[in-house]
A and B are shown apart, each in its own frame.
Chain A
Amino acid sequence: MTEADFDVEYVERDDRSARVLIRGLTPAFANGIRRAMIADVPTFSIDTVRFVENSSVMFDEMIGLRLGLVPLTTPLDEFEIGDTVTLALDVEGPATAYSGDIESAEAMVEPADENVPIVELKEGQRLEFEADAVLEAGKEHAKHQGGVSVGYRHLQRVSVEGDRGEFDDEEPRILRGVIETPEGEVVATDEFGNDLSERYPGKEVRVEDVPGAFVFHIETDGSFTVEELLLRAIDSIEERADELRTKVAV
């Protein structure tokens, strides 16, 4: 615990999704980070809608629900929990109102995707509203979750035990996640069709979990980057540990 020695390696890396291998974690710590990424890192989401006109086929409440689910970009350095940003939309049919039609009063907070359909409008129908997006954490409402499908698996070490028996059938050995090869390489299993017999044909292989090595699969809704989400989750654990220390010390 005292000698914290971490090793972080990106197996796959994109703005919105990544697989990150972290060595040196305890299971409790890994789970703390995972939970913090899901429930504790806040994002903006529309929370209040003031309808000016809604002559679409959907009730105000249905549109309100759909608006809440539109991911908004969230620069966390600029805002605090509870801050609001005003957005507006005005679309007249025949047309489909998309998230990209939403105008924001704050250039930093805007829909992360512009192709989320809100409602299809026919001739003569119109949707106009003003909405307030609020910065909150995922534990308040799932629409504020920045991380989607965040999880982890153990890194799996594959060792070649020898050759398969001459008359043995070649059976598939399905494995998902990320493996560490005997050469020390880190390889995602989809590179060889998730089948170890494809990568090591005719070999007898053994698979075991590597202790303390976790492969996180992190995907964000576009509110921020994967790295931002991971760092903010670590921050949130640290803030609480700091708070506990100061309060206990008194």
Chain B
Amino acid sequence: MELRVIEKTDTELRIEIAGEDHTFMNVLKGALLEADDVAAATYDMNPEQSGGQTEPVLTVKAESGDPLDAVEAAATSITDRTDALRDAVTAA
């Protein structure tokens, strides 16, 4: 996973997350959209053959606060969930 910030303002962030695919990006987008301080979140990914930008680009618009913090919070909420899910699977 290589991160490269493409554009960053106080409330907006465009960041390339190289090496990832829909598996993780969609989970991340889902987690971002559930957060209250996120106004919009999406990611864009082009097919291998398109020849242009093929690594996923995440776009986050924050309602308040730094969008980078929102990404960090989303990552934390994913690990919280995987932890809980792992316990539930092991217990079943």
B53 within 8 A of A: no
CB-based contact A245/B3 at 8 Å: no
The residue of chain B having its C-beta at the shortest distance from the C-beta of A244 within the complex is B75
The smallest beta-carbon distance between B58 and chain A, in angstroms, is: 10
- Contact surface of B with A, Cβ cutoff 8 Å: 1, 3, 17, 20-24, 26-31, 34-35, 68, 71-72, 75-86, 88-92
Asked if A36 meets B80 with Cβ closer than 8 Å, knowing A8-B91, A231-B90, A247-B3, the reply is no
Listed in ascending order, the chain A residues whose CB lies under 8 Å from chain B are 1-2, 4-10, 20, 22, 26-29, 31-32, 35-36, 39-40, 139, 227, 230-231, 234-235, 237-238, 240-245, 247-249
| Beta-carbon nearest neighbor of A249 in chain B | B72
Give the A-B contact count at a CB cut-off of 8 A: 107
Let me know if B30 and A244 touch, CB within 8 A: no
Contacts of A10 in B (CB 8 A): 92
Indicate which residue in B17, B27, B86 contacts A32 across the interface (CB closer than 8 Å): B27
A9 surroundings in chain B (CB, below 8 A): 92
Considering only CB atoms, which chain A residue lies closest to B72 in the complex?
A248
Residues of B within 8 A of A243 (CB): 1
Q: Inside 8 A of A238's CB, which chain B residues have their CB?
A: 78-79, 82-83, 86
Nearest-Cβ distance from residue A14 to partner chain B, whole angstroms: 14
Separation of A198 and B88 alpha carbons in the complex (Å): 34
Contacts of B80 in A (CB 8 A): 2, 4
Q: Please, how many angstroms separate the alpha-carbon atoms of A238 and B84 in the complex? A: 11
B89–A8 contact, CB under 8 A? yes
Q: What CA separation (Å) do A28 and B30 show in the bound complex?
A: 6
